[in-house]
Structure 1
Amino acid sequence: MKKKYDYLIVGSGLFGNVFAHQMNKNGFKCLVIDKRNHLGGNIYSEKTEGINVHKYGPHIFHTNDKSIWDFVNQFVEFNHFRYSPLANYKGELYNLPFNMHTFHQFWNVKTPQEAKAKIKDQIKDLNIIKPKNLEEQALSLVGKDIYEKLIKGYTEKQWGRDAKGLPSFIIKRLPVRYTYDNNYFNDKYQGIPIGGYNKLTEGLLENIDTQLNVDYFQNKEHFNELASKVVYTGKIDEFFNYKLGYLNYRSLRFESETLEQENYQGIAAINYTERNVPYTRIIEHKHFEYGQGPKTIITKEFPQEWDKNKEPYYPINDDKNISLYKKYKDLADQEEQIIFGGRLAEYKYYDMHQVIASALKKSNDILNNQ
């Protein structure tokens, strides 16, 4: 008997929404469900005082892939925002990402050669040949001074672990440049949707059935019966009822405040790098869209240990968790009617352009094999 839908998509994040859009465009009927009271997953923004507040932390779109840029721009126009945060250490401000401005602020050096010589001198006695952990990787990249003030405390409160116990690849995502360039991302295409990310979500899900405030696991059989196939974008261990154990994440807590002033900090984001400051950064949302109103909204971002009642944000990709994920992946590969995709289902940190590319590839692979 033909089912009502071709695809049930569990989770309205970017992976699920892009997949649904592509399949709907090609004549397949889709239903997108989400346990939250809104669509869009973590890119959802909430309009307050005329300001689009990034409810689950700031999202800055960036990519070098013109096809991905063209794809998102068919739904909403993007502005020219460039992410150039500052770091605050005990009241002193430093430019990010680490670049010649930062090196000049620390050591009064003016040339790349002077900066490299300073870093080399700071790590010459450490004998770091192949960095074994985040601390060694960071020291080899930027030397002791910057590591101690701008990396160590921030990283340890972000991850809740000693920097020596964290894998080196985490810090490799941080740009280090020997140019006077405060643009955090080098990508050719960058920006924020004009009017907020909800416009992107609305465009992706146009003419697609959606249901909110529904928990897939509380009525799994009912939802599975609705569609020929299920696209699952939630936590992979939850899908299998945690029967092999829990995968670990770091979570976040946000405290937002509306201020009766036009401009609080003059920039979209300032990182607070001291270990004893409980939040990692303060976001001022209006600066993402060059807002001019009389009020402003700031959000303090507090990292915290994850449990199953909290939102999972960052997978902890250490050896133990990677090993456990592989076991869950083996189980997932045996599920013929279930397609697993996205950050939580793949236990993988994705930037937005990467998760869109993943969803496009998955949908195109299916369409090409029809």
Structure 2
Amino acid sequence: MKKFDYLIVGSGLFGATFAYRATKSGKKCLVIDKRPQLGGNVYCEKIEGINVHKYGAHIFHTSNKYVWDFVNSFVEFNRYTNSPIANYKGKLYNLPFNMNTFYQMWGVTTPAEAKAKIEEQKAEALAALNGREPTNLEEQALVLVGKDIFEKLIKEYTEKQWGRDCKNLPAFIINRLPVRMAFDNNYFNDKYQGIPIGGYNKLIEGLLEGVDCKMETDFFKEYKDSWRNDAEKLVYSGAIDEYFDYKYGKLDWRSVYFKTNILDCSNYQGNAVVNYTSRDYSYTRIIEHKHFEMFGSAVYDCPKTVVSEEYPVEYKEGMEPYYPVNNEKNNALADKYRLLALQEKNVIFGGRLGLYQYFDMAPIIEYVLNMKM
């Protein structure tokens, strides 16, 4: 008899939620992770009493009440609302694009004035296309929001993010850009939004309570050739091309690294997220972590603050793969690997790396909750 029903590779939200569901249905699981801690990219590191999002800012949002109630059954979520700021050459703009942004950009004060300005610039972009469809991201953005917003808030930020000129990025990356004719800085339209009180580790701990876990364990070194001896099925959330020994070649990724510093002040930038949209800074944004969980006077009760500068880079061997590169070449290659995955007996592929697809947190939890065990 085998020791486990499931060997689960990766302890992020996909693996942890799967382990929770399987355990509740009477199955025995072993979760392994190559990192020294559990939680994947939602792991939080406590620094100066502040929960630092070690692998980048994670803001939970959903309109699915079932998913919201599910995560809140493990840890209560706070009322954090994502309202990022954009800094372009020292001038600040509210995001997403809304009436505050348009007032800051043009001085307009009514939705009619803002709409007229945007339509004027969109018309110029459409005229330049002379009847043809946009063929790249730059052309697509210009016909969606016009020149001013594109050049100040999209172009240079996107080029830093992807390491490519907007003219060399596919148009389908931004099929739509949200434009709100209201003074509303709430980035997400979802009904529910927040951060776990005490950090995401509490959510992961709740999901994995009673589950056997092994950290600092490399699947390829310790289990790849022998897992069928110990488990009935494999749940794999590592990189799909690596699982198949790069049979068709390597998929491209964008990676990110962070410079995190402790500062001797209570409040550095007054907001959790400030995007730096010009090339004047090589980082794309600065995260001030305390603002995710500390509000009002509580910000000043903590005498120090922790900030992280976020630097997108081209992925190289040994780095953490973060974002799939969404273009025709990689999508076609990923489809070939996904076809192989469907043919792999007793192996379930999932998550951002396992499916070569970017997921927000709530959809990945919903995906697992809807799976047949």
- TM-score under structure 2 normalisation? 0.95
Note the 1:31-42 alignment, pairs <5 A: 31-42=30-41
> Is 1:233 aligned to 2:213, yes or no?
no
- Name the counterpart of 1:338: 347
> Is 1:48 aligned to 2:47, yes or no?
yes
C-alpha distance 163-256 of structure 1, shift in aligned 2 (>3 A): same
CA distance in 1 between partners of 2:271 and 2:280 (Å): 23
Q: 2:256 is matched with which residue: 248, 252, 256?
A: 252
Deviation at 1:222, TM superposition (A): 3.2
- Name the counterpart of 2:365: 356
- Structure 2 residue identity aligned to 1:216: F
Question: Which secondary structure does the structure 2 equivalent of 1:221 belong to?
Answer: coil
Question: Which secondary structure does the structure 2 equivalent of 1:126 belong to?
Answer: helix
Partners of 1:249 and 1:314 within 8 A in 2? yes
Question: Which secondary structure does the structure 2 equivalent of 1:16 belong to?
Answer: helix
- Name the counterpart of 1:111: 110
Deviation at 1:203, TM superposition (A): 0.1
CA distance in 2 between partners of 1:168 and 1:181 (Å): 27
Question: Which secondary structure does the structure 1 equivalent of 2:124 belong to?
Answer: coil
Question: Which secondary structure does the structure 1 equivalent of 2:351 belong to?
Answer: coil
Partners of 2:160 and 2:279 within 8 A in 1? yes
The alignment covers a number of residue pairs equal to 363
1:301-328 CA-to-partner distances (Å, cap 9, x unmatched) read 0000002311111101100001101111
Q: 1:202 is matched with which residue: 201, 205, 210?
A: 205
1:219-241 CA-to-partner distances (Å, cap 9, x unmatched) read 22233321100000010000001
CA distance in 2 between partners of 1:216 and 1:80 (Å): 38
Partners of 1:175 and 1:184 within 8 A in 2? no
Deviation at 1:276, TM superposition (A): 3.4
Partners of 2:22 and 2:28 within 8 A in 1? yes
Could you tell me which runs of 5 or more consecutive residues in structure 1 were left unpaired when the two chains were aligned. none
Deviation at 1:242, TM superposition (A): 0.8
- Structure 2 residue identity aligned to 1:72: V
CA distance in 2 between partners of 1:297 and 1:170 (Å): 32
Question: Which secondary structure does the structure 2 equivalent of 1:271 belong to?
Answer: strand
- Structure 2 residue identity aligned to 1:314: Y
Deviation at 1:172, TM superposition (A): 4.5
CA distance in 2 between partners of 1:126 and 1:186 (Å): 28
Partners of 2:173 and 2:326 within 8 A in 1? no
CA distance in 1 between partners of 2:26 and 2:274 (Å): 46
Partners of 2:234 and 2:347 within 8 A in 1? yes
- TM-score under structure 1 normalisation? 0.96
Could you tell me which runs of 5 or more consecutive residues in structure 2 were left unpaired when the two chains were aligned. none
Q: 2:274 is matched with which residue: 270, 274, 279?
A: 270
1:323-363 CA-to-partner distances (Å, cap 9, x unmatched) read 1011111111111111111111111010000111111122x
- Name the counterpart of 1:4: 3
CA distance in 1 between partners of 2:35 and 2:179 (Å): 38
> Is 1:320 aligned to 2:323, yes or no?
no
CA distance in 2 between partners of 1:192 and 1:14 (Å): 15
- Name the counterpart of 1:74: 73
Question: Which secondary structure does the structure 2 equivalent of 1:344 belong to?
Answer: helix
Deviation at 1:174, TM superposition (A): 4.7
CA distance in 2 between partners of 1:335 and 1:40 (Å): 26
What is the RMSD of the two structures over their aligned residues, measured on CA atoms?
Answer: 1.2
Deviation at 1:173, TM superposition (A): 6.6
CA distance in 1 between partners of 2:142 and 2:264 (Å): 42
1:258-305 CA-to-partner distances (Å, cap 9, x unmatched) read 011111001101000012310000000000001430000000000000
CA distance in 1 between partners of 2:172 and 2:260 (Å): 31
Partners of 1:237 and 1:245 within 8 A in 2? yes
C-alpha distance 122-156 of structure 1, shift in aligned 2 (>3 A): same
CA distance in 2 between partners of 1:224 and 1:139 (Å): 53
